[in-house]
Amino acid sequence: MLTKKIESILNEQITKEAYSSNLYLAMATWAEANGYGGVAEWLYAQAEEERLHMLKFIHYVHERGGHAIIAALDQPPKDQQGIKELFAAVMKHEQYISQSINEIVGLAMEERDFTTQSWVQWFVNEQIEEEASVSAIIDKLNLLGEHNMYLFDRDVIGMRRPSQQTQP
């Protein structure tokens, strides 16, 4: 059985994962509408992965006898300044999510909920991977400079992580 505090922080994370999915979906539609098909593909796959993260939290809450709450979401920005700015925003968001996963680990330790503490380790590792993958994309963008966006757009498709590549 989950304590109320743990149930509540897990529910907050469900909302954050749902928002992450919508955020990347909104970025994908902007990229697609602006001719960046490769970036859009990367973002659509990422949005799908965030939805799976949300579902993992939902199922875990229910396995532990809690009630997962589906909350209303803020509307993500519909426009982006450019591709560099977009990936900088992805990085900032992932760092925020990593911080929020760390808070779950911290609360699970405080509440002596060692099951949650152990279960959430998967997300700790996932965040390391996600940040590293976005950081590699940003490095590549910096190397290419503004005028090689066409090449970057084709190249980024190959920079999906294995978990993203299984997505439709």
Specify the residue, 97 or 104, whose C-beta has the smaller distance to ligand OFO: 97
- For 13, list phi and psi in degrees, rounded to 5: -70, -35
Specify the residue, 56 or 144, whose C-beta has the smaller distance to ligand OFO: 56
Least separation, in Å, of the C-beta of 79 and ligand OFO?
A: 21
Say what angle helices 83-110 and 37-63 make with each other, to 10 degrees. 10
Least separation, in Å, of the C-beta of 54 and ligand OFO?
A: 8
Amino acid at 3: T
Cβ-count burial 40-56 (b if 16+ within 10 Å, e if not): bbbbbbbbbbbbebbeb
Q: How far is CA 79 from CA 23, 27, 34, 41, 54, in A?
A: 11, 8, 10, 17, 24
C-alpha of 2 from chain center? 25
Beta-sheet strands, E only, within 59-139:
none
Least separation, in Å, of the C-beta of 42 and ligand OFO?
A: 13
Least separation, in Å, of the C-beta of 91 and ligand OFO?
A: 11
Give the residues lining the site for ligand OFO (CB under 6 A). 17, 20, 50, 53, 94, 97, 126, 130
Specify the residue, 99 or 115, whose C-beta has the smaller distance to ligand OFO: 99
Least separation, in Å, of the C-beta of 112 and ligand OFO?
A: 26
Specify the residue, 97 or 141, whose C-beta has the smaller distance to ligand OFO: 97
Specify the residue, 69 or 91, whose C-beta has the smaller distance to ligand OFO: 91
Closest CA to 155 of 48, 41, 59, 79: 41
